[in-house]
Amino acid sequence: MLSRVANNLYWMGRYIERAEHFARYSRVQYFSSLDAPILKTYDRNFVLESILYMAGIFDMENITEKDVLFKIGLDLQNSNSIISNITFARENARGARNAISTDLWESINKYYHLVTSYPQDTYLSTGFYDFTQLILDQTSILSSKIYGTLMHDGEWAIILIGMYIERVIQIIRIINSKLHDIYKIEQAGHSVTEMSFEWTTMLRCMEAFDMNKKFYRTIPNREQVMEFLLLNPHCPRSIAYSLNGIRRYEEKISRNESRDSNTISFKIGKLVEQFRYLSFDEYKDDIYGLLNNTQDKVIEIGSEFEKKYLSF
């Protein structure tokens, strides 16, 4: 496989995953605030700032609701907007057209046209829910096409490596954003007992609320939510599960390589085992440190993977 094609497949996977997480986080944050039991989380500016924080946008002043929704949704000048990520995914899919199925290409192309033709006035007035639901639905279709219409070979593995690397990064961004929200709520004088709504919102941002409830059968709290989203190897939205995904598909590509300490396989394996044997008590006092350190390592692994397999 040409490095150029591999690069297109890898970034197609990453952009698809990124758009989905931006859409889900924005939607859950925006609409959950309508039922918020705490006055602080009901505040519209608090919600908009949280959405911008997760998207990594810190240069907006005198923010209005329409400005924020446009910036994260349909602003082509913002390279991190939902529409930009979908545009980049389609461009990369076109660059790897001969490596993917017609079904997958047509689904990506349809996805792109649905988003780019979405009426801006509708989106900014009454269409935000429908728009974000469109993103989530189309992402599910793409995932089914990736799993169901492609050969499960090296090209397929590269797409999934990109998706899982991006998923780890976005999970960490979401957790950091919600922890930042919770810190602001605590600074406003609210007690720990009032935070269950925020922990529930965090789980919903990951599509993990129902399974968390099934697993623990209690009201969400800090310890169980952090344990579930970081360490549970069976939750598809956890960091541990996603790291296992990176290792599983990277091994499919590099199975004949040595496993010395400088290889990508060794580094991702070491990170997987760290999360496998980690307990909440070990990181409860420095969750930010663990998250940021993990993100740095995953970004480093992604950079080394690009340098080794995708450079052209």
**How much of the chain, in percent, has pLDDT values that exceed 70?**
95
Mean of per-residue pLDDT scores for the chain: 92
Encoding tokens for residue 143? 């995932």
Each residue's pLDDT tens digit, 265-280? 999 999 999 999 999 9
CA–CA distance, 20 with 28 (Å, rounded to integer): 12
For residue 42, the model assigns a pLDDT of 59
Split at pLDDT 50, 70, 90, the class of 32 is confident
The average pLDDT across 211-236 equals: 94
Residue owning tokens 């047509």: 106
- For the cut 60, the answer to whether the pLDDT of residue 190 exceeds it is yes
CB proximity list for 220: less than 8 A, separation 6 or greater = 196, 199, 200, 203, 209, 212, 213
For residue 39, the model assigns a pLDDT of 56
Task: Decide: helix, strand or coil at residue 82.
Answer: helix
**Residues written for the chain:** 312
For residue 256, the model assigns a pLDDT of 65
Each residue's pLDDT tens digit, 65-111? 999 999 999 999 999 999 999 999 999 999 999 999 999 999 999 99
Largest CA distance in the chain: 58
The average pLDDT across 165-171 equals: 98
- For the cut 80, the answer to whether the pLDDT of residue 155 exceeds it is yes
For residue 193, the model assigns a pLDDT of 63
CA–CA distance, 46 with 86 (Å, rounded to integer): 27
Each residue's pLDDT tens digit, 224-238? 999 999 999 999 999
Whole-model pTM: value is 0.94
For residue 135, the model assigns a pLDDT of 98
Which residue, 162, 285, 166, 161, is CA-closest to 237? 166
Residue 76 one-letter amino acid: L
Split at pLDDT 50, 70, 90, the class of 195 is confident
Q: Where are the domains of the chain?
A: 3-310
